[in-house]
Amino acid sequence: MPWPTALQKNSHVLANYERQNKTLIPRRGTVHDAGNSLSHKWIICHKRYVEGKSADQIARETYHSLEAVDRYLGQFDRVRHCLQQGMDTAEIARILNCSVSLVEVYQQIDKELESDNA
């Protein structure tokens, strides 16, 4: 089936463009604040912790609601704090009432942002 493969390829191209340019291409998930795309979380966290932008600036630049930006940043901060306390991903997920995969996403973002700040 060529259809899923073409969609996957296009999504990777789009995600790479967004990451390299630190910008978002508005699409249904962005406009309706749905999904948990890594690129959106990464871009939002990068704009805050590397570029030093405020939540309202980030919301405007990423086409997200202020509430969504605050939610992403708050969850990132909570995961980061737990990691600094030496907790493992399963423990963090249980404490924060979220999935292990979400904790792993934020853990990866934290590593990438630390290398950006180095």
* Tens-digit pLDDT profile for residues 66-94: 999 999 999 999 999 999 999 999 999 99
DSSP string, 36-88: --HHHHHHHHHHHHTS---HHHHHHHHT--HHHHHHHHHHHHHHHHHHHTT--
pTM of the model: 0.68
**Residue-range definition of the domain harbouring residue 62:** 2-117
Instruction: Specify the residue for token string 């509430």.
Output: 67
What letter would DSSP give residue 9?
H
Whether residue 28 contacts residue 34, with contact meaning beta carbons closer than 8 Å, is answered with yes
Residue 3 pLDDT more than 50? Answer: no
Domain total for the chain? 1
Q: With left for phi above 0 and alpha for psi between -120 and 50, is residue 100 left, alpha or beta?
A: alpha
